[in-house]
Amino acid sequence: MPEVLDQSDIDALLSAVSAGEVESDAEQAQIFSRFRRDLENVEIKEYDFKRPERISKDQMRALQTLHDTFARNFGASLSGFLRTIVEIRIAHAEQMTYSEFIGSLPNPTSFNLVNCLPLDGQMCLEMSPLIIYPIIDRLLGGSNQELFIPQRSMTLIETRLIQKILLRGMAALAEAWESVKKIDFKLGEMESNPQIVQIVPPNEVVVVIGFEIKMTNRAGTMSLCIPFNVIEPLIDDLSAQNWFMSGRNRGEHQWEKLISQRLSDAMLDIAGVLAETTITIAELRGLEVGDVIMTDKPAVSPVTLTAGGKPKFLSHIGQFKGNRAVKIVRAIKPSDRV
């Protein structure tokens, strides 16, 4: 039987604690982890299991920076295609459940599925009718003055026209994601009612990137929904350090190749310097046709061939097919005195 304290023992213990003879142990928080942590510096935050956050803040910042590049490229592409200034910028980037995302969309709208090979699953791109119909009106030669936004599904002709816009968006999206992984974005099915499209379970976590599109006197929104299970294989590559280093190295390599190609086609002036000497200004003013200028260089000495004013080769002067020519003997070395 375990030993049981009576009332006198309890009173004795309480008086000993009050007198300081017995130290009371403070209750310590226990944090279970694979690694040892300093419990005094551990930050404890509330966690909502209904809205779990599966992507860190650094990875969200990397996603936001990546799609900021997409917004600039897509806006520039639309500006050239529509012959008017189109500005696209990121309005927000957050995590939510798929049911919350669907519930925030208007009906009808332009809800487009996006296949992203070699990744599994689908993304979805939604464009508001507030900007879709001004774009269609612009494509058909309208001026967007007093344009009425109909509350109906898009017709077949309107769908074909907006596909041309979305295909340019797929190209800009692939260009932006190329710094992380080469992904082939293809436009899938298009629906006007987002409630009937179920690409992931309602409780699945998705990343929603919201964009604001401005065109002359019209504005609207666009949303890109990225399910977590689609980008899960790339989640480690989305850390800020790895992503920026990868993008910077790849960008330097592309610029180096482009500059090399452009420089290879550049034109240079080349000249053969027979000899050099010095004369006075008075002698220069007195020169006439037929005068002979003497130099210290023998006639059989090699001629210096310069490219862009810089000595590059030693050559001999001659004649080829009735034209004056020089024959390159060798390149000028840094140790040569020319």
Together in a domain, 171 and 202: yes
Together in a domain, 247 and 277: no
pTM tops 0.85: no
Together in a domain, 252 and 316: no
Q: Pick from 257, 286, 302: which residue ends a domain?
A: 257
Distance between CA atoms of residues 70 and 94, nearest Å: 17
Q: Which of 174, 208, 218, 209 is nearest to 86 (CA)?
A: 218
pLDDT at 67 over 80: yes
CATH number of 297's domain: 2.30.330.10
Q: Look at residue 41 and give its three-state secondary structure.
A: helix
Can you give the pLDDT at residue 241?
46
Q: Pick from 225, 257, 289: which residue ends a domain?
A: 257
Return left, alpha or beta for 63; rule: phi > 0 is left, psi -120 to 50 is alpha, else beta.
alpha
Together in a domain, 129 and 66: yes
Q: Which of 224, 247, 226 is nearest to 88 (CA)?
A: 224
Residue type, 236: D
Q: What contacts 310, CB < 8 A, 6 or more positions away?
A: none
Q: What is the mean pLDDT of the chain?
A: 81
Residue type, 166: L
Contact 222, 213 (CB under 8 A): yes
Q: Is residue 164 part of a domain?
A: yes
Residue type, 133: Y
Can you give the pLDDT at residue 144?
72
pLDDT at 211 over 90: yes
Per the DSSP assignment, residues forming a β-bridge with 205 are: 97
- The mean pLDDT value for 52-71 works out to 82
- Which of 43-57, 96-110, 286-300, 315-329 has the weakest average pLDDT? 43-57
Q: Pick from 193, 227, 257: which residue ends a domain?
A: 257
pLDDT digits (tens, 9 = 90+) for 268-321: 888 888 888 888 898 888 888 988 888 888 877 888 888 888 888 888 888 888
Together in a domain, 169 and 210: yes
Tokens read off for 130 = 């507030």
Contact 206, 102 (CB under 8 A): no
Q: Is residue 10 part of a domain?
A: no
Can you give the pLDDT at residue 321?
85
pLDDT band at 240 (very low <50, low <70, confident <90, very high): very low
Q: Is residue 123 part of a domain?
A: yes
Together in a domain, 201 and 309: no
- Which of 30-34, 148-152, 283-287, 318-322 has the weakest average pLDDT? 30-34
Q: Is residue 52 part of a domain?
A: no
Together in a domain, 291 and 151: no
Domain of 249 in residue numbering reads as: 57-257
